[in-house]
Amino acid sequence: MRTLNVAMIGGGFMGKAHALAYAAMPMFFWPAPAIPVRKVVVDVTAEAAETARQRFGFEEASSDWRSVIARPDIDLIDICTPNDSHAEIAIAAAKAGKHIICEKPLARTGAEAKTMLDAVAGGKSVHMVAFNYRRTPAVVLARKYIDEGRIGTILNFRGTYLQDWSADPDSPLSWRFQKAVAGSGTVGDIGTHVVDFARYLVGEIASVNAVTRNWIASRPKQSGNVDKLGVGGGDKNAERGAVDVDDEMITLLKFEGGAVGSIEATRNAYGRNNFLTFEIHGTKGSLSFNYERRDELQVMFADDPGDARGFRTVYTGPAHPYGSDLWPIPALGVGYGETKIIECHDLCQAIVNGTQPSPNFEDGYRISLIADAILKSGETGEWTDVGR
Ligand code: NAI
């Protein structure tokens, strides 16, 4: 069986999720398209890289991603670093002819994402951007129903991504609150996941009209690189630094195909944890999904009997997309890890087949353009075309 030697850059939250996927993918998908080999993990210091090596089961550790990309034995570069280093690493990887998976958002801006798309254009790199939530089986099932015409023509998409891990004004000033590193706040960090749902399920977005807000202007500075995502709270006595990104975003959408919609994203919604949702209304029915109940898709078809009108729950299982490779009984439950395992499978399959997976750098670029348009509209208050 073919093997793929992986070099993973960044051993934080996403490093953990991706390492799990490399180890577990062949346990679910068998025969696997290829066996990922956890060859080398890179972090900013030798110590951090060695810790990641031991924890995530890599053969080697390094603190120099450039020399790792230059190695002829590496097939796949996996970019799990904060957003400001995605472009530099991906462009170097493309120049070296490596396959690439890059965490989302692809880049800080559409212009930066374009440099990455240009770098892979015409080359032999298979490229993917890690919007893994769309690989939740219930979300893929929604797409299947839409493709089969089960809800007719889509009229409306309503999506949210609401969290509360940064609602405390004293939660730490991590890289996610610094424009120079993150590019934007809720728009790029979580709003883009909903934009990915919208494009995957409905189609291309033509224009947006957004409101953006910053609620917490400064936060206590934190030590270390890894984002603590509010865990344990911040040190109230630490020196505070400025937050220069959006904390909240609400946008209206007009799709190229004629549908309308809206997206809300915030990390300041006390009581909401990972409230990533969509509801889609079509001329023949509706679909509704909430990631916090990710084994379930709520469906209502217009030809349901009159005395049974209303949403009902389909629990995903072996009869549904990817289900026969996951667990043998519906509603045993898939988690965040499984979305990354499925993503890893589809990436390896694409590499073996020599095809481009979806979402790839083209999708990542389009999503970055939409993020730019949302941010611009948030400043001007006007409808803003996404452009091409
Ligand atoms: P994190 O802060 O937990 O970890 C980042 C790691 O990268 C740290 O270990 C840090 O030391 C390391 N690092 C930073 N610069 C580096 C460099 N130049 N070379 C080598 N290592 C470097 O961050 P997290 O949450 O893992 O985020 C990483 C990326 O993943 C971001 O782009 C983020 O938007 C994305 N992400 C995606 C999620 C998803 O659901 N798909 C969820 C969380 C994050």
Quote the pLDDT of residue 228.
73
Give backbone dihedrals phi and psi of 296, rounded to 5 degrees, phi first: -115, 140
What residues are in contact with ligand 1 under a 6 Å CB criterion? 9-14, 42-44, 48, 65, 80-83, 85, 103-104, 130, 132, 189, 225-227
Beta bridge mates, 384: 208
> For the CA atoms of 84, 88, 91, 92, what is the dihedral angle to 10 degrees?
-140
Q: How far is 181 from 184, CA to CA, in rounded Å?
A: 8
Residue 307: how many CB atoms within 10 A of its CB?
5
Query: How many angstroms does the Cα of residue 267 sit away from the middle of ligand 1?
Result: 18
Is residue 160 a contact partner of residue 264, using CB atoms and an 8 Å limit?
yes
Quote the pLDDT of residue 233.
65
Give the nearest ligand 1 atom to 17 CA. Answer: 26
Q: How far is 336 from 325, CA to CA, in rounded Å?
A: 16
Q: How far is 107 from 362, CA to CA, in rounded Å?
A: 12
Beta bridge mates, 41: 8, 61
- Under-50 pLDDT residues of the chain: none
For tokens 């002819």, the residue is 97
Give the nearest ligand 1 atom to 227 CA. Answer: 2
For tokens 């990631």, the residue is 291
Answer yes or no: pTM beyond 0.75. Answer: yes
Quote the pLDDT of residue 84.
98
